[in-house]
Homo-oligomer: A and B are copies of this chain.
Amino acid sequence: MLYFITSNNNKFEEARAILQMEMEQLDIDLPELQDIDAHNVIKAKLNEAMRHHEGEFIVDDVSLVFDALKGELPGPFIKWFLQSLGAEGIYDFVSKLGDTRATAKLIVGYADGKDNIHFFEGAVEGNIVKPAGERFGWDPIFLPKGYNKTYAQMPQDEKNKMSHRHLALTKLKEFLQTK
């Protein structure tokens, strides 16, 4: 059995829609490792899941990185920046740094049940802008390159076709279909 580890039902349904495979949501609370590299965060979660369960597992982690912070930060720590500063606060912060370019990344890890972990990355370049549109998280301040709408201003199905999440899950799908 293939398990997608998340407590978020929407994430699970979106993943199932893209992957079009039989899979189950596994809502277990795995500690989040403190590491600037999302691959290590994911690897720790998959190893922990494999200690307790049989099967194949998928775990993902979102990173948002700013060109003004060497394209490395805040990385996986973006969730804490969002919690502390809010979306508008992040916009103010990045504006002051004088370079609003940013890249949104989803890293997906897949544990194949035979001790191998495979990673797939979806990345979308863009800019951090003044909040526009209503949606959770940093969607209102992320303007993807080549678009005139923030993530939050796009209808969900339009975003789902081009997002960093979509790109990463599509790569995973191709891998699972050909293995």
Interface residues of A (CB under 8 A from B): 31-36, 41, 44, 68-70, 72-77, 80-81, 83-85, 89, 93, 96-98
Q: Are B31's CB and A33's CB within 8 A?
A: yes
* Bound CA–CA A74/B84 (angstroms): 10
Provide a sorted-by-A list of 27 A–B residue pairs whose CB atoms are within 8 angstroms: A31-B31, A31-B33, A31-B44, A32-B33, A32-B35, A33-B33, A33-B34, A34-B41, A34-B76, A34-B77, A34-B80, A35-B80, A36-B84, A69-B84, A69-B85, A69-B93, A70-B85, A70-B89, A73-B80, A73-B81, A73-B84, A73-B85, A74-B77, A75-B80, A77-B77, A96-B97, A97-B97
Q: Considering only CB atoms, which chain B residue lies closest to A61 in the complex?
A: B34
